[in-house]
């Protein structure tokens, strides 16, 4: 039995602060300010998939050297969107290899002529490997979808009077290999009686469609040449004062001053400081609370940072404003505490896909989903199984919806995926996730993987390394991974702060036998708790349900079966949630697309909403339950 002492990050916050591993370079969200401008490049891009046998024709013919249309026929491709569902050409649906995007841009003259302006190209996400050329010049490469990357392109655009015309070419490869995250394998099918010569398929080990392309915004933004590169904020509470610890990194100058002002939501100054690091004290601070937990949730302050640097061309100023929520997170043997109070996650797992846009970021979808989350009374979600767009997390900060932020560590199913190259890559990805999302009060825990083969010895070492690394990057948040292993076999569980369990009783096991759920779920919780003495979240449970299918008594795939299965889970969750079970997240918020397979009917149908965001019967059941839990929590002075 592995015993452990409770860890209270809240109390250790300021002490641990100095220990955080320094992250190389910042990835601040590009906000406008008096010193910064933004130019969004969303809209129609030229697009061409490289259907050549080796998929390398684009490189052999150097498509980046001249306008893409001169290389051959191009398509109009909306950005952001996945390219897979847009065209009527079936070959694009599951295309594997290089696709090419291109967009021409005119820059404002002051961006190209003012040498104290720095111009940055930022790509919100390009799944899974990207190479970027600006005016034919190789500028940037990035591995991994779902996370932003950027390059200072000032040198390329500030080269003379004609430089305001810009051609951006991005080649993206969606191939997944044993060392990418998520991993995959390419399999050549060589039986020539069945397959044409050179025929191959991409094998993946996760249950969502491998949508690809420029799925989030691409934009250009400016900063002065001396600029605020990164800000890291951690918060704690001492009596009734909020403490805001900040660390700021500046690039482009060694001779500078930093002024820091913390404003409340009414724009009143509540604390100020100076220099690259410090602590701001806010007497009587209003805390950031999850919504439904407090009558005034999600309170955000603004940290205004002003940089003044002495440059050879004269003084330069840069401004950046960061929303800050003051809150603490801690974990004991049986509780998850926010601001010292027990928090119960009653929420969902999501995916980012919907309709023809695939995983393309979409404002109407974002707002609709948040309206549905609030309709449902969901106070939390997990970003299954990859980091979501930054705008999603900003919305969570504002609405008070709590997030378990998961990296794309999904599909780690084969022993060969736990190798050293993958491990280094996984740790790098965690650095990128933490760098991007560390300042969101809504993010209360990192998840480094979903259902890895954690019964393997090699997985134990691997998970230990990734978790330890993540904790070193951010000592202020608990870390987990989501398991579906057996409690006695799991080699990664000793290293997590919270046990997250996926189980599909009466769906993938003993299917049709709803009467077994209570016994099996009770055994699950009791064996895990007895072994590890850590709080537990039921991080997935659910049933495939085709909207409009009805049967009573309930049979699998009907709306009645989904409801009954949920009800059985809820009986046990209600018994355990007052003890050590600290959360339940339904699989899934909405139906989503997967690979084609005999077990998937146009995708995964375990949503309580359809892919078009209409409720199935189970959504009403869940709604009643979540609001009931919320009201109980509110009434018990929490
Ligand atoms: C779980 C996975 C999730 C799947 C789900 C299912 O974590 O990604 O979509 O099963 O089968 O094991 O519906």
- The answer to whether the CB of 66 falls within 8 A of the CB of 131 is no
Token reading at 79: 């950005």
Residue minimizing CA distance to atom 5 of ligand 1 = 207
259 catalytic? Reply is no
Residue 161 falls inside a structural domain:
yes
500-536 confidence digits (pLDDT tens):
999 999 999 999 999 999 999 999 999 999 999 999 9
What contacts 24+ positions apart, CB below 8 Å, involve 285-289?
285/237, 285/240, 285/241, 285/242, 285/326, 286/242, 286/326, 287/237, 287/242, 287/325, 287/326, 287/327, 287/339, 288/325, 288/326, 288/327, 288/397, 288/400, 288/441, 289/327, 289/338, 289/339, 289/400
Q: CA distances (Å), 430 to each of 145, 246, 479, 530, in order?
A: 13, 21, 11, 30
Q: CA distances (Å), 303 to each of 194, 233, 352, in order?
A: 63, 9, 30
pTM of the model: 0.96
Residues with CB under 6 A from ligand 1: 206-207, 385, 450-451, 484, 502, 540, 587, 604, 606
DSSP state at residue 126: E
- The answer to whether the CB of 322 falls within 8 A of the CB of 303 is yes
User: What band does 636 get if pLDDT is binned at 50, 70 and 90?
Assistant: low
Whether residues 215 and 77 share a domain: the answer is yes
Whether residues 218 and 247 share a domain: the answer is no
Counting from 1 in the atom list of ligand 1, the atom nearest the Cα of 606 is 13
Whether residues 53 and 169 share a domain: the answer is yes
Whether residues 101 and 161 share a domain: the answer is yes
CA atoms within 13 A on the CB side of 315: 6
364-416 confidence digits (pLDDT tens):
999 999 999 999 999 999 999 999 999 999 999 999 999 999 999 999 999 99
Whether residues 280 and 163 share a domain: the answer is no
Angle at the Cα of 430 (from 427 to 431), degrees rounded to 5? 90
How far apart, in Å, do the first and last CA atoms of the chain sit? 32
Whether residues 372 and 509 share a domain: the answer is yes
Whether residues 247 and 137 share a domain: the answer is no
Residue 461 falls inside a structural domain:
no
**Paired residues of 281 in beta bridges:** 243
Distance CA 337, CA 601 (A): 40
Distance CA 203, CA 177 (A): 9
Q: What is the pLDDT of residue 313?
A: 82
Print the domain residue range for 248. 225-324
Whether residues 261 and 161 share a domain: the answer is no
Q: Please tell me the total count of domains within the chain.
A: 3
Q: Say how many Å lie between the CA of residue 576 and the centre of ligand 1.
A: 23
**Among candidate residues 496, 318, 288, the one with its CA nearest the CA of residue 401:** 288
Q: Which one from 102, 390, 432, 451 is the annotated catalytic residue?
A: 451
Choice from 604, 605, 611 to test ligand 1 binding pocket (greatest atom count within 8 A of CB): 604
588-632 confidence digits (pLDDT tens):
999 999 999 999 999 999 999 999 999 999 999 999 999 999 998
């Amino acid at each position: 039995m592995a015993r452990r002492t409770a860890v209270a990050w809240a109390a250790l916050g300021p002490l641990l602060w100095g220990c955080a591993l320094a992250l190389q370079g910042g990835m601040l969200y590009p906000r406008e300010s008096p010193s910064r401008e933004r130019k969004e490049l969303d809209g129609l891009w030229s697009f061409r998939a490289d259907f050549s046998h080796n998929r390398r024709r684009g490189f052999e013919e150097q498509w980046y050297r001249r306008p893409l249309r001169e290389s051959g026929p191009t398509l109009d491709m909306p950005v952001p969107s996945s390219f897979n569902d847009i065209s009527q050409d079936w070959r694009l649906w599951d295309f594997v290899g290089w696709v090419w995007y291109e967009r021409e841009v005119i820059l404002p003259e002051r961006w190209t002529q003012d040498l104290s302006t720095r111009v940055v190209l930022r790509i919100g996400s390009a799944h899974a490997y990207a190479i970027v050329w600006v005016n034919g010049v190789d500028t940037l490469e990035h591995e991994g979808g779902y996370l932003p990357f950027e390059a200072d392109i000032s040198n390329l655009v500030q080269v003379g009077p004609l430089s305001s015309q810009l051609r951006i070419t991005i080649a993206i490869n969606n191939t997944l290999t044993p060392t990418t995250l998520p991993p995959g394998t390419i399999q050549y099918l060589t039986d020539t009686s069945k397959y044409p010569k050179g025929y191959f398929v991409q094998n993946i080990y996760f249950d969502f469609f491998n949508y690809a392309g420029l799925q989030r915004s691409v934009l250009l933004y400016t900063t002065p040449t001396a600029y605020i590169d990164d800000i890291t904020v951690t918060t704690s509470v001492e009596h009734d004062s909020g403490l805001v610890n900040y660390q700021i990194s500046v690039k482009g100058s060694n001779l500078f001053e930093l002024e820091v002002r913390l404003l409340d939501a009414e724009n009143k100054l509540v604390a100020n400081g100076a220099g690259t690091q410090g602590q701001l004290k806010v007497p009587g601070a209003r805390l950031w609370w999850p919504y439904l937990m407090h009558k005034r949730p999600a309170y955000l302050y603004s940290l205004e940072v002003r940089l003044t640097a002495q440059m050879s061309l004269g003084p330069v100023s840069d401004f950046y404003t960061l929303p800050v929520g003051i809150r603490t997170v801690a974990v004991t043997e049986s509780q998850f505490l926010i601001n010292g109070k027990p928090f119960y996650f009653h929420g969902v797992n999501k995916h980012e896909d919907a309709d023809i846009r695939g995983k393309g970021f979409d404002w109407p979808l974002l707002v609709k989903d948040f309206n549905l989350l609030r309709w449902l009374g969901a106070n939390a979600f997990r970003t299954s199984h990859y980091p979501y767009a930054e705008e999603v997390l900003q919305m969570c900060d504002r609405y008070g919806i709590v997030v378990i932020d998961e990296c794309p560590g999904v599909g780690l199913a084969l022993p060969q995926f736990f190798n050293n190259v993958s491990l280094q890559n996984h740790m790098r990805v965690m650095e990128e996730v933490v760098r991007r999302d560390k300042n969101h009060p809504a993010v209360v825990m990192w998840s480094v993987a979903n259902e890895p083969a954690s019964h393997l010895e090699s997985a134990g070492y691997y998970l230990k390394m990734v978790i330890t690394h993540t904790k070193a990057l951010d000592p202020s948040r608990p870390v987990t991974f989501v398991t579906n292993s057996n409690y006695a076999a799991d080699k990664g569980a000793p290293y997590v702060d919270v046990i997250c369990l996926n189980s599909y009783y009466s769906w993938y096991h003993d299917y049709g036998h709803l009467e077994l759920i209570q016994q099996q779920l009770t055994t699950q919780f009791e064996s895990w708790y007895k072994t590890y003495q850590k709080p537990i979240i039921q991080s997935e449970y659910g049933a495939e349900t085709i909207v409009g299918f009805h049967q009573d008594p309930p049979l699998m795939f009907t709306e009645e079966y989904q409801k009954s299965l949920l009800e059985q889970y809820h009986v046990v969750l209600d018994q355990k949630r007052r003890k050590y079970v600290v959360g339940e997240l339904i699989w899934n918020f909405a139906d989503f697309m997967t690979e084609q397979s005999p077990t998937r009917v146009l995708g995964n149908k375990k949503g309580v909403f359809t892919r078009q965001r209409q409720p199935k019967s189970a959504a009403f059941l869940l709604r009643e339950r979540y609001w009931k839990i919320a009201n109980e929590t509110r009434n018990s002075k929490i």
